């Protein structure tokens, strides 16, 4: 499917000129960022993913929908090899992640160190916030660039302040996770993921644990990122977000991606019976 022209201002371009961000050029909007071929995964006899093919363009905002158990989380987890697929490939801008084809037709598995470096390109935000309980918000954000990217402490602090401001939490920089609401913790988690300067953000039901008011604040931040050109794949039940922010809706059933559509068409004229049934429950 041809996508509409995308916002040309990338989130990366807006960040201050801080060490942690100097080495990743903004992607060309519309170029292919994520390439997934034949992704297949079973848990015992349960087929969680069945031959999933997916292409996400730089700047594209994709919302992934599907009933519980349809394979959404497994797909997201396979994209950064948190879950190792039984078959298939994942590549970021053509660079394979996890399993790399060789010129002799064989496959090579990335070492943990190689995988760790490639994974930095993908930020992930889960339903549970998973912040470090013993670190203040600022340090939760700064720790990745500091420990993993080995950036100077002052630059990491500047970056963390900038990102906490971006998620509207600058006044909470010195608080510990237990002093923050669930929505605030989730926004710190988003800032923490952004601190690694990812090319792609994956959100797996980021607001499922939150009440409606806190949900709004978190989805607002994700929508702002979307408007600034961040490429993202979002599993969410927030239909309004899908309408307002998504370029593409993907629908999964029993481990298969069975529909790819624009939000307007998906919600008003779904192509598949399964999507129609799903919508009759959620709308």
**Least CB distance from residue 46 to ligand ADP, whole Å?**
5
Query: Pick from Mg ion, ligand ADP, none: which does 68 bind, CB < 5 to 8 A by kind?
Result: ligand ADP
Contact call for residue 73 and Mg ion (CB under 5 A): yes
Task: Output the furthest CA–CA distance in the chain (Å, rounded).
Answer: 56
Alpha-carbon span 138 to 169, nearest angstrom: 10
Contact 251, 82 (CB under 8 A): no
Alpha-carbon span 171 to 130, nearest angstrom: 21
Contact call for residue 21 and ligand ADP (CB under 6 A): no
Alpha-carbon span 13 to 15, nearest angstrom: 6
237-240 long-range Cβ contacts below 8 angstroms, 24+ apart: 237/205, 237/208, 237/282, 238/207, 239/267, 239/282, 239/283
Interface with Mg ion (CB under 5 A), residue total 2
**Least CB distance from residue 248 to Mg ion, whole Å?**
19
Name which of 70 and 207 has its Cβ closer to ligand ADP. Answer: 70
Query: Pick from ligand ADP, Mg ion, none: which does 34 bind, CB < 5 to 8 A by kind?
Result: none
Choices 23-31, 65-73, 156-164, 253-261; region in contact with Mg ion by CB under 5 A? 65-73
Q: Considering only residues 49-88, where is the footprint of ligand ADP by CB under 6 A?
A: 66, 68-74
Query: Pick from Mg ion, ligand ADP, none: which does 46 bind, CB < 5 to 8 A by kind?
Result: ligand ADP
Alpha-carbon span 143 to 195, nearest angstrom: 9
Ordered strands of the 32-43 beta sheet: 46-57, 32-43, 87-92, 95-96
**Least CB distance from residue 207 to Mg ion, whole Å?**
13
Ordered strands of the 200-204 beta sheet: 122-125, 200-204, 231-235, 61-66, 248-253, 256-261
Measured in residues, the chain has a length of: 283
Name which of 220 and 254 has its Cβ closer to ligand ADP. Answer: 254
**Least CB distance from residue 254 to ligand ADP, whole Å?**
9
Contact call for residue 206 and ligand ADP (CB under 6 A): no
Contact positions vs ligand ADP (CB under 6 A): 43, 46, 48, 66, 68-74
């Amino acid at each position: 499917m041809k996508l509409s022209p995308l916002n040309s201002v990338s989130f990366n371009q807006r960040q201050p000129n801080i060490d942690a961000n100097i080495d990743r050029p903004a992607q060309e909007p519309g170029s292919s960022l994520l390439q997934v071929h034949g992704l297949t995964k079973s848990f015992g006899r349960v087929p969680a993913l069945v031959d999933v093919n997916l292409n996400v363009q730089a700047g594209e905002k994709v919302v992934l929908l599907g009933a519980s158990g349809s394979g959404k989380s497994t797909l997201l987890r396979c994209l950064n090899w948190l879950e190792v697929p039984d078959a298939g490939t994942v590549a970021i801008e053509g660079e394979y992640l996890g399993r790399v084809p060789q010129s002799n037709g064989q496959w090579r598995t990335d070492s943990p160190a190689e995988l760790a470096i490639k994974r930095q390109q993908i930020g992930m935000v889960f339903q549970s916030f998973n912040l470090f309980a013993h670190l203040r918000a600022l340090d939760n954000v700064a720790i990745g660039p500091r420990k993993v990217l080995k950036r100077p402490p002052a630059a990491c602090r500047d970056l963390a302040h900038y990102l906490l401001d971006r998620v509207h939490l600058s006044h909470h920089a010195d608080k510990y996770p237990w002093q923050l609401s669930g929505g605030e913790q989730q926004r710190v988690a988003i800032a923490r993921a952004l601190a690694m300067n990812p090319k792609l953000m994956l959100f797996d039901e980021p607001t499922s644990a939150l009440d409606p008011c806190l949900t709004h604040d978190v989805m607002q931040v994700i929508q702002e990122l979307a408007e600034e050109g961040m490429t993202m794949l979002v599993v969410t039940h927030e239909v309004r977000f899908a309408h307002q922010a998504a370029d593409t809706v993907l629908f999964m059933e029993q481990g298969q991606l069975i529909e790819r559509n624009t939000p307007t068409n998906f919600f008003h004229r779904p192509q598949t019976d399964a999507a129609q049934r799903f919508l009759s429950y959620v709308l």
